[in-house]
A and B are shown apart, each in its own frame.
Chain A
């Protein structure tokens, strides 16, 4: 690996960490769309900032563009508050308008601005190492590294300082307000961080990747954990993993780095979406199948409980009576046997004591919805879980 390669990977990793942190809270606040809006509508801010400073990496430009991001959020909320349209519609109204103002500004001044829409949307990580920051004539590293490094430092400081405030206002804005933590201040603080991060990162990685890096790692982490701190850590991990594997994928294919990182983000999400232990598609399908089997089991046990006559409890009769296909009847029979709820003697099925208690408890629970008694059953049976 040469220096430039290492620098690109460090920049990409720092960007992904800086995005994953606000991204986690955006995902939990169901505000994924807003990051898309910010990333597009900062364009006019960038263009105006560029006219004023003539420097794409100027901090003034970053503040200018971040301010446009906040304006986006305010406009979206204002339109939403009129009660005429829903949030996603409001977002859809605001960002194309601002984005097109940016495009028009670029087009009108294309002659004296070396700034094109493609570069803004896609960025070019590969060039980042060539734009160096010189302090008193000494090369201290790529500019992009310093910009994103400073933003990341601020983001982490704010996260550590205001973690509890972010958590409570995200989970329960009403409680936060009643405790004296203004949800509005926290909301706009988060939006400011998201805007500044977007602007700081767009030059290196482009607006599309910024959105992907904010949302995908957090959405992936959400599927895997029930703890906010772990969700943040996982989101950061997935972001960095995508950044580095995406870089090498691009290297190998000689393709766009931003495009490859986005692909990696998608693949990792897909993998977790399918295989996550409790929220993944396969786990959910398995649970549904299990639940269906358990409903059948309960129906079957109830039948046994209600019928003392031997002919009602003959294996063959059960198959006809409950009217299941053979396979399912067999599966249910086996499930009941495995849990020691029935005994089969000369093809006559009877409830065991355990099966009898289980059935009474389950029915009682279903009728009254009284929860306390069935805690012990939850561990073994999906049917009684949330």
Chain B
């Protein structure tokens, strides 16, 4: 077993109502990369993450996290869903949402304790949201909500982070805060997988990239495969990005 592969996906096919939205995906994500998943809307990016995390049951294929099925590696993985997937009017506060990140290590029935609260407060501080800990979550701006989600993932203290569009609807300052934290995670040897929309910033933010559109188009180091050829294959139109150095 190759120790350096964090996530391995084999022949994965996922369907909604028998309509496949991911076809025969093979993917190896090396440990310690900061990887972007790019592809047009409806390409199956969110579906891929959900299938890896066992939230959706694939119709074929398998997934392993450090060589073992996801169910055995729950503690190693943190997940930030797409912001739109939850109801922000839910009666809860920023701190409480971040505390949810500790639930995984607690398991069923056990309640969070003082040290879990402390961890949540530290995570809030890290994303610059400590001042908002008591704020009801609908009273937060889009960028602040994303930071809360990031804090919740940080609390999980995982080895692998999956983030679905963490830059969606955030302002420039928040984007910088978030990407700096992600880069820090990579520096600490963690593996970070991010669904990303802004192609311009891919070379600046990420060192690894996967092109996805129902099928896997390409995966590898940004410097080798982030080119017009793969972009065109993924987005279907003649794509040109001016890569800024």
Contacts and interface: CB of A to CB of B under 8 A. Distances in A.
Contact of A83 (B17, B53, B92, B172): B17
Nearest to B19: A83
A370 B104 CA distance: 34
A161 B19 CA distance: 39
Contact of A177 (B53, B108, B138, B173): B53
Interface in B130-189: 136, 138-141, 143-144, 152, 171-174
Interface in A355-372: 368-372
Contacts of B74: 178-180
Contact of B144 (A168, A180, A369, A371): A371
A171 B112 contact: no
A370 B74 CA distance: 36
B141 A371 contact: yes
A108 B96 CA distance: 55
Contact of A161 (B86, B107, B109, B139): B109
B79 interface: yes
Interface in A223-281: 225-228, 230-231
B3 to A, nearest CB: 24
Nearest to B81: A174
B240 interface: no
A230 B138 CA distance: 17
A292 interface: no
Contact of A178 (B53, B138, B140, B172): B53
Interface string A29-47: 0100000000000000000
A1 to B, nearest CB: 36
Contacts of B106: 164
Contacts of A137: none
A168 B107 CA distance: 12
Which range holds the interface residue count of chain A?
A: 35 or more
A228 B92 CA distance: 6
A188 to B, nearest CB: 15
B25 interface: no
Contacts of A174: 50, 53, 55, 79, 81, 85
| Majority-rule SS of A interface residues | helix
Contacts of B112: 164
Contact of B86 (A171, A178, A225): A171
Interface string A370-386: 11100000000000011
B217 to A, nearest CB: 25
Interface in A196-239: 222, 225-228, 230-231
Contacts of B173: 370-372
A226 B91 contact: yes
A226 B144 contact: no
A164 B90 contact: no
A180 B71 contact: yes
Given A83-B17, A180-B74, A386 B79 contact: no
Contacts of A178: 53-55, 74, 77, 79, 104
B218 interface: no
B114 to A, nearest CB: 15
B53 A227 contact: no
Interface in B79-103: 79, 81, 85-87, 90-93, 96-97, 100, 103
Interface of B: 16-17, 50, 53-55, 71, 74, 77, 79, 81, 85-87, 90-93, 96-97, 100, 103-104, 106-109, 111-112, 136, 138-141, 143-144, 152, 171-174
Interface of A: 28, 30, 81-83, 161-165, 167-168, 170-172, 174-175, 177-181, 222, 225-228, 230-231, 368-372, 385-386
